[in-house]
Structure 1
Amino acid sequence: MTSSPAEPQGLRERKKARTRAAIQRHALRLFRERGYAATTVDQIAAAAEISPSTFFRYFPTKEATVLYDALDPLMVEAALAQPAELSLMGALRATLREVYERMPEDAWQDERDRQLLVFNEPELRAPMLEQYGDGIDLLADLAARRVGRSATDFEVRNWAGAVVGVVLAAFYTAGGDPDRLLHSLDDAFAHLEAGLPL
């Protein structure tokens, strides 16, 4: 009896996730075809066959369709499932490989489009940089769970900040090429794990 209410909630959440993904996919396609600045929320809503008011229930702005990272929940799930004997960086590198290997080609194409758009649109770079603060919180929480410390612990947050720093460096090293990004990230994580020797 107690499981019955949870099932519709799970179904609702899955339906919302599918709708959010569809809106983002149409937005990325339109941005690629027409350009980011020339594409309107009304055009995205029409392409996704929803009303503008429905669009705003999923994304507060046009910009948010690009900044939303659908990989975050997958990364968290995969990170929490990594074997306990792996180091923090080892678990992070394994998580990255696992998620990217499991991604269907169309989802990887969407992610490529999203990353290229962020790299090439100056209007999107500043808000993306602001999101790195959220990344520190997310990584600190994951690290804290693995090592049995508080997510507010100085060393835990310092580690999370270092990871975000090398992610940012890898993003720019890849030069906006999403196919190079995975390799750049793995190299960046290996360098961080080695203590950032010069």
Structure 2
Amino acid sequence: MTDRHSTLRARRRAETQRSIQAHAVRLFGERGFDATTVADVAEAAGVSPMTVYRHFPTKEDLVLADASGQLVAEQIAATPADQPFMRRIAAALVGAAGHLNGGAANDPGSDRGFLLARTQLMITTPALRARHLDNHYALQQAVVGALTGESADPDEVFRAQAAAGACLAAMHTALVRWAQDDGRSDLPELIARALTAAFGEDAV
């Protein structure tokens, strides 16, 4: 019974977070990041400002918080362990993009529309561009952890860090192009093209 209640609480918490974040991203896109307050977001989401802060400690977190690290790590875990790091990361990034690319780009309620709005905000808002580096580092750490596990070999960790950093830079280039194209391009294909341009035909 306790486990079931814990699962239900976690599910409700995740649903609340997603609802708050969806309203925040929509309002930031309509009114601008600086012109929208946390109180505005709380009112739109039907919760109190305290609830917003409980889930998102800063205003920037309303845009930047995501679960992409876990999704990419799961994708890496599904790749053959004997493949080179670069190929495993590339396959995971393209696969994760496929999962996040559902629905219409002009529908903010779809995964694709939400990701597009988030990405466009991160590109155009100076405060978010600065904080985006924290997200990039967290995603890199998740990738490295998925590749190396409990490994204490510093050389292996270094190789994983280098591969992850390079692949994520290529992915970022694809995301910027996708956002500038207003989501009309196919995101997984664009990421694959960026990885191929950077590392050759064998990258993906």
TM-score tier by shorter-chain length is 0.7 to 0.9
Amino acid at match of 1:62: K
Q: Distance in 2 between matches of 1:175 and 1:136?
A: 18
Task: Please list, as runs of the form range in 1=range in 2, the aligned pairs for 1:37-186 lying within 5 A after superposition.
Answer: 37-103=34-100, 104-105=102-103, 106-145=110-149, 149-150=151-152, 153-172=154-173, 175-178=176-179, 179=183, 182-186=188-192
Question: Displacement, 1:127?
Answer: 1.1
Q: Does 1:21 align with 2:25?
A: no
Q: What one-letter code is carried by the residue in structure 2 that aligns with 1:120?
A: T
Over the residues paired in the alignment, what is the CA RMSD in angstroms? 2.7
Output one character per residue of 1:145-172: Cα deviation in whole Å (capped at 9) or x when no partner: 3xx733x723423432442244235424
Change (3 A) 1:10 1:193: farther
TM-score (norm 2): 0.79
Could you tell me which runs of 5 or more consecutive residues in structure 1 were left unpaired when the two chains were aligned.
none
2:21–2:62: 8 Å Cα contact kept in structure 1? Answer: yes
Tell which has more relative contact order, 1 or 2 (C-alpha 8 A, sep 6+): 2
Normalising by structure 1, we get a TM-score of: 0.81
Check 1:175–1:100 CA distance in 2 against 1; reply closer, same or farther (3 A cut): closer
Give yes or no for contact 1:89–1:189 (8 Å, CA) kept in 2.
no
Aligned residues: 190
Amino acid at match of 1:74: L
Contact 1:27 1:44 in 2 (8 A): yes
